[in-house]
């Protein structure tokens, strides 16, 4: 397998981070999936969103909603294992098993991704670092065990690239919503998964942030009663000056439950073009895990972590007892 294909697979596996927030160590079953979601091979159509008129006078500002979301409890430090299925025409074409670890320190969030399966790609890993006060607020370092065997840095211009039939990108799956260089506005209300939600529109407001996004605007659906991202629609520029925006992709949370006071998604789908989709299923997780070594979250640690995974190391860390 060539170097470019390995990089593509690595970028594809990033999708496990977004909206899967904190819970204590657990195995997650289909009991957490709403009855309306088809758990068979056929993927349901993305839930439609009907945006209500302008929000009421006492509605929170868009900036407050973004700040509340970024300040949410996602069980740091924590880890989880996720099954990623790629689908075309409701047929699963490829699967991946990915583990990720993360920790949050003030305004910085660092997340490790370790690819366990398929075996031929085992050990591929990367580190995603977010710092809200340092535009573009994100750095990504990766290590490819079958490549040049050195830590590489992903250029910001590649943060929005979707590869191997996946519509997930680095920008889609960061733990926090970007702030510097983006403009947010509250557009109204809606409902997803029978939960009331605020509709927040976001667009890049600087040349630098426009270069790292494949979309021109996006609508985010933030739960009204708790800080959680229930879905998103991403739009490209209209084909002509009078035409509507072009829908590029849609993200929908399809399973949601609360564990120890923390909301977590158990199933997520990203719908792309030409009947392509990617589905994420949470298998197990351990959160608020003090045993996770803070020293692991460094680019220089990626080669050593890769070798441990290739030798069969499996991450199993118990959460801190209350």
State the Cα–Cα distance between residues 224 and 112, nearest whole angstrom.
30
Strands 91-105 and 108-117: antiparallel
Strands 276-286 and 182-192: unpaired
| Sequence-separated contacts (24+) of 42-47 with Cβ below 8 Å | 42/90, 43/87, 43/90, 43/269, 43/277, 43/279, 44/254, 46/231, 46/250, 46/252, 46/269, 46/271, 47/192, 47/193, 47/231, 47/252
State the Cα–Cα distance between residues 211 and 231, nearest whole angstrom.
23
Lowest-confidence pick of 135-139, 250-254, 305-309:
135-139
pLDDT value at position 169? 82
Q: Does residue 316 sit in helix, strand or coil? A: coil
The pTM assigned to this predicted structure is 0.84
Lowest-confidence pick of 22-31, 165-174, 217-226, 294-303:
22-31
What is the mean predicted confidence (pLDDT) over 177-190?
A: 93
Protein fold of 3-34+47-310: outer membrane lipoprotein receptor (LolB), chain A (2.50.20)
pLDDT value at position 1? 46
pLDDT value at position 317? 57
Ranges of each domain in the chain: 3-34+47-310
């Amino acid at each position: 397998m060539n170097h470019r294909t390995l990089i593509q697979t690595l970028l594809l596996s990033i999708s496990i981070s977004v909206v899967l927030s904190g819970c204590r160590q657990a195995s997650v079953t289909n009991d957490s999936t709403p009855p309306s979601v088809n758990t068979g091979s056929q993927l349901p159509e993305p839930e439609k969103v009907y945006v209500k008129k302008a929000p009421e006078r006492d509605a929170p500002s868009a900036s407050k909603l973004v700040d509340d979301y970024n300040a949410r409890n996602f069980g740091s430090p924590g880890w989880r294992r996720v099954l990623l299925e790629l689908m075309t025409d409701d047929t699963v074409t490829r699967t991946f098993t990915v583990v990720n670890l993360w920790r949050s320190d003030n305004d910085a969030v660092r997340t490790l991704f370790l690819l366990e399966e398929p075996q031929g790609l085992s050990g591929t890993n990367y580190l995603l670092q977010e710092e809200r006060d340092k535009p573009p607020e994100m750095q990504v370092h990766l290590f490819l065990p079958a490549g040049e065997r050195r830590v590489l840095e992903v250029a910001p211009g590649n943060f929005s690239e979707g590869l191997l039939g996946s519509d997930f990108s680095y920008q889609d799956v960061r733990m926090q919503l970007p702030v510097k260089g983006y403009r947010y506005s509250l557009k109204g209300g809606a409902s997803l998964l029978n939960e009331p939600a605020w509709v927040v529109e976001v667009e890049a407001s600087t040349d630098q942030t426009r270069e790292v996004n494949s979309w021109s605007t996006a609508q985010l659906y933030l739960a009204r009663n708790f800080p959680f991202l229930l879905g998103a629609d991403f739009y490209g520029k209209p084909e002509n000056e009078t035409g509507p925006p072009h829908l590029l992709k849609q993200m929908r949370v399809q399973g949601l439950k609360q564990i120890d006071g923390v909301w977590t998604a158990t199933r997520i789908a990203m719908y792309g073009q030409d009947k392509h989709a990617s589905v994420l299923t949470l298998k197990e997780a351990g959160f608020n895990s003090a045993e996770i070594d803070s020293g692991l979250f460094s680019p220089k640690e990626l080669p050593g972590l890769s070798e441990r995974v290739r030798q069969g190391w499996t991450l199993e860390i118990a959460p801190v007892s209350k």
